[in-house]
Amino acid sequence: MKVASGRVLNLTHLLDLAGTYRGFSRKQLAEALGRDPTKLFSATANPKLDYIVRLADVLDWHVGDVAEAIWDGTEGEAASPAPGGDFESLNVESKAAHSRGDYARMYELSQQMLAVATTPEQRAIACLREGGAWDGQGRYTKQLDAVRKGLEESPISTDLRALLQVNLANAYYTLGQLLEARAMARDLIEQCTAEPPTSRAARAAHAFACYVLGQASRCLIGQQPDRARAYAAQAKDALGESVRLYTQLVQDFNHEPWRGIINTCQGGILVAEVALGERQPQAIIGHFLDGLNDVIAPAGDRLESYGWWCIFGCEVALRHLNGSELQRSMAVFTNKGYEIADKLNNWAMRERLFAMEFIQRQRLNELAGFPVEWTIDSE
């Protein structure tokens, strides 16, 4: 209820701002948003794409900025209480929060760690934990800032530097800076190939670098269709290697978040195999839909992995399906994706789902030859 009440407050402020900015009466604002004047937003304050786009138009904002303002996640940025232990105990608790997907608590603990840190190594570790907390909430610009801050600390251990660098590469990937992400990931992979890692941290950095290279290559399948097969092959190889490395790590250390990353990798591999013509799109969409039926109790990275499956399913559907088959698949993937994004408080996942829906709407307009009226959710 705390998150929902926060959204209500954020939406109320945005609507007040929109009315003031445009000089609209409540009735005029309702007309612009396609709503009843007595109910400018639903009780859950969980608006659909249509509403977000209309509100962005009224405010003259980007859709993503409106989404971030609604799902602000500022609860995680509240002033942290006084440190509840020494650095090592706080670090252990932070890793436990990560494992159970409690990213707000993980952020809080990272700030306590920073407050008691006395060495460059400890400050860099605190920054790494902060970056992980922002990553879990889809706040990738903040993740980027946190890991950059960690890399500024010196001297720090080689293993810690590798973890910070691969998380920086991941931040670039999640922010859509795909060439930068691929370059950084490849550099780390080359280092690990030349000197095979033996420590847990270095092995994890190697596995994550393969993940970043694979997922960035997967994204380029759609962005550069003339090289789609080459990127699909690179994505399949890199993600397959990431699965292999993470599987070994799970066997050795039984760290739950890695199982979630494996699941995300497996979804990306299926997308690549469709692009390579090795799998039929309908079969893979069916596989993704069947997998979503198992989403009952997972949390953290495991739950997030199914959110990415929803986005992968949208990608395949938009590239290969048409008509009612496309609409049915997109409806399931986006609805389930929004549920997962809400549970994780991951606004970036929501924005990607908004973007997928927008592409679908554009396609409908192109097929019809005129703007198709968007259905507004009665709630």
Three-state DSSP at 36 gives: strand
Confidence class for position 379, pLDDT limits 50, 70, 90: very low
Calculate the average pLDDT of the chain.
88
CATH number at residue 130: 1.25.40
Residues 100 and 151 reside in one and the same domain: yes
Number of domains comprising the chain: 2
Say how far apart CA 308 and CA 320 lie, in whole Å.
Answer: 18
Which tens digits make up the pLDDT trace of 68-91?
Answer: 778 765 444 444 556 678 999 999
- Counting residues of the chain whose pLDDT is more than 70, the rounded percentage is 89
Residues 103 and 46 reside in one and the same domain: no
Q: What string of DSSP letters covers 7-23?
A: HHHHHHHHHHHHHHHHT
Confidence class for position 311, pLDDT limits 50, 70, 90: very high
Residues 131 and 89 reside in one and the same domain: yes
Q: What is the pTM of this model?
A: 0.76
Confidence class for position 21, pLDDT limits 50, 70, 90: confident
Domain containing 38: what range? 2-72
- Counting residues of the chain whose pLDDT is more than 90, the rounded percentage is 58
Q: Answer with the one of 72, 100, 134 that is the final residue of a domain.
A: 72
Confidence class for position 301, pLDDT limits 50, 70, 90: confident
Which tens digits make up the pLDDT trace of 164-181?
Answer: 999 999 999 999 999 999
| Cβ-based burial of 44 (10 A; exposed 0-12, middle 13-18, buried ≥19) | exposed
CATH number at residue 16: 1.10.260.40
Q: Answer with the one of 156, 180, 212 that is the final residue of a domain.
A: 156
Nearest of 98, 155, 159, 156 to residue 131 by alpha carbon: 98
* Residue 173 and residue 165 in contact, taking contact as beta carbons nearer than 8 Å: no
Query: What pLDDT, on the 0 to 100 scale, is given for residue 159?
Result: 96
Residue 118 lies in a domain: yes
- Of 290 and 80, the structure prediction assigns the larger pLDDT to 290
Query: What pLDDT, on the 0 to 100 scale, is given for residue 377?
Result: 41
Residue 269 lies in a domain: no
Would the pLDDT of 374 be above 80?
A: no
Three-state DSSP at 338 gives: helix
Q: Answer with the one of 103, 130, 156 that is the final residue of a domain.
A: 156
